Amino acid sequence: MIRYLFSRVLRHTEDRVGFLVLAAALTFFAVQPAFAHGFKVGQLEIGHPWARTTPAGAKVGGGYLSVENEGKEADTLVSATADVAGRVEIHEMSVKDGVMTMRMLADGVVIPAGGEVKFAPGGYHLMFMDLKQPLKEGESFKGTLTFAKAGTVNVEFKIEGMGGPAGHDAHSGHGTPAN
């Protein structure tokens, strides 16, 4: 699309409409936090794994993604790893009686047959523990997700600064304030 627009603009350098279309397209792409990216393992589609930026010295960070199960059997996300973390836990954040709580899901998260589960700020998330380095916006890191049936898939987490709730401060319950 971009290439088409450039060639259009080059051919019609006096064409103000062409410039306006190009400007609009560039603006559109510029405001996207990151291009969506995805991974596939078996019948599972992993959508846009990302992690929130962390302040210097933070020892924990949050990771998010979606998992769509196109299969006829349920599967379970049982564990994960990340290059930047000593270990990764699967957590659920929820609000009970107005209080934000977080718990570790030792049995993982079930992805129902034909369903989709979103790991997002305020709900299910991956918790990167013992961070080896701050997570900086625009960078990315490698990790794995392991499912009970589909097995292990290599993924890449993009680090983004936006999109998380202030409630993520509840991670101070892990001993170190997160972002």
Q: Which stretches of the chain bind Cu ion, using CB under 5 A? A: 91, 102, 127
Cα–Cα–Cα angle for 90, 72, 105, nearest 5°? 15
Judged by beta carbon, residue 127 or residue 145, the one nearer Cu ion is 127
Contacts of 162 (CB under 8 A, 6+ apart): 33
Question: In what helix (H) or strand (E) does residue 81 lie, and over which residues does it extend?
Answer: strand 75-82
Question: Least Å distance between CB 11 and Cu ion?
Answer: 53
Q: Quote the least distance from Cβ 104 to Cu ion, whole Å.
A: 8
User: Least CB distance from residue 62 to Cu ion, whole Å?
Assistant: 6
User: Which position's Cβ is nearest Cu ion?
Assistant: 91
Residue among 41 and 135 whose Cβ is closer to Cu ion: 135
Closer Cβ to Cu ion, 101 or 154, answer by number: 101
| CA 29/CA 41 separation, integer angstroms | 29
Q: Compute how many other C-beta atoms are within 10 angstroms of the C-beta atom of residue 53.
A: 18
